Each structure stands twice: as C-alpha cells, then as structure tokens.
Structure 1
Amino acid sequence: MSFASFGDFLAMGHHGLYVWSAYGICLAVLLINVASPLLARRRYLQQEARRLRRENSQ
C-alpha cells in the first residue's frame, strides 16, 4: 500500500481514526504492563523498609 502524501498516510484510506486509536490503545496497555510491576515493586520495598525501621526501633 502506498500513499500519495503524509496526510493520506494519517487518514489510512478513511480508517485512520480506527487504526491510530488501536495503536494508541495498544501502546497504553504495553506501558501499563511495564509500569505496573515496577510501581508494585517500589511500593513493596518502601513497605518493607518501613516495617524494618519499626522493628528496629522497638
């Protein structure tokens, strides 16, 4: 498939809204799948650090 201009490429034969929203949703899901475990690990390490500080101060 070839396009005459960049605008035609973005329009994707009048299916641009569907195509680009699908790419956007896919990218969002991939970012969430990467960020979620990283944030969970950070929360876990912070909780464990707090627990250890509490245990050591008693």
Structure 2
Amino acid sequence: MQFESFAEFINMGGYGFYVWLSYGVTFGCLATLITLSVRKKRKVLIEIAKKMTREQRLKENRGTKS
C-alpha cells in the first residue's frame, strides 16, 4: 500500500489513531516488561551475593571455633 504523503501515512486511511495507539501500547508494555525484568534480575543477584557472603562468614566462623 502506497501513500501519497506523510500525512496520509500517519492517518492510515482513517484508522491512524487505532494503529498508532496499538503500536504505542505494545512498545509501552515491552518497555515496562524489560525494565521490570532488569530490576528484578539486579535484585536477585544482590540477594544471591548477600547469601554467599553470609555463608562464607559462617564457614569462616566455624573454622575458627573448631
């Protein structure tokens, strides 16, 4: 499908609002999903590092008490 002008492309034959709204919602949801996933991954990695540090300290304390 070819459009005569950029304005016609944006209008999409009268359906431009719905087309561009659907693109906006889709990319908004994808951006939110990526952002939340990155934050959750960072939080999980920090928790794992804390647990590993805690376990290492416990091992060291057990070794000095024996």
Which residue of 1 is the match for residue 20 of structure 2? 20
Between Structure 1 and Structure 2, how many residues are aligned? Answer: 57
User: Residue deviations 1:14-42, cap 9 Å, x none?
Assistant: 11100000001011111122221110111
Shift of 1:47: 4.1
Name stretches of at least 5 consecutive residues in structure 2 with no aligned partner: 58-66
Greater Rg, structure 1 or structure 2? 2
Aligned AA for 2:23? Y
Q: Equivalent residues in 2 for 1:1-58 (5 A)?
A: 1-49=1-49, 55=54
TM-score normalised according to structure 2 size: 0.65
Sequence identity of aligned pairs in percent? 31
- Partners of 1:15 and 1:39 in 2: how far apart? 36
Q: Which structure has greater helix proportion?
A: 2
